[in-house]
Amino acid sequence: NHAKFKPSDSATFTPSGQSHTVSYGSGAVTIVLGSDTLRIQSITVTNQELGLSQDEPTQPFYFADFDGILGMAFPSLAVGGMATALEGMLEQNQLAEPVFSFYLSR
């Protein structure tokens, strides 16, 4: 019941062939790793590593009001040692400082 990323529709997606299981407090998700171009407004990061959900439990992911997760964890917590989105932005000089924030609204 979610929008899905289709790797075959992306001209820049490259699969890595590796898979991992990511454990959350509410369950675990099996992901396959790859890389693609990440764009958030005016920020563009090429070859950003990402994980595509392959197998996930029904609860709570199926019923969640979101289509994916953008990991903003500390690098030491990243799956398989992959670079986080923030690291990719900094490495490719897309941010002036290693700072991000969120604005939540209804």
Domain ranges across the chain: 7-92
Q: Summarize pLDDT for 49-64 with one digit per residue, the tens.
A: 988 888 766 667 777 7
Encode pLDDT of 2-25 as tens digits.
788 889 999 999 999 888 888 777
Provide CB contacts within 8 A for 74, sequence distance 6+.
84
Q: How far is CA 102 from the centre of its chain?
A: 16
Average pLDDT score, the chain:
85
pTM above 0.95, yes or no: no
Instruction: Identify the pLDDT of residue 58.
Output: 63
Domain 7-92 has CATH 3.40.50.2300: no
Least confident of 43-47, 52-56, 84-88, 102-106: 52-56
Sign of CA dihedral 89, 90, 95, 99: positive
Q: What percent of the chain has pLDDT over 70?
A: 94
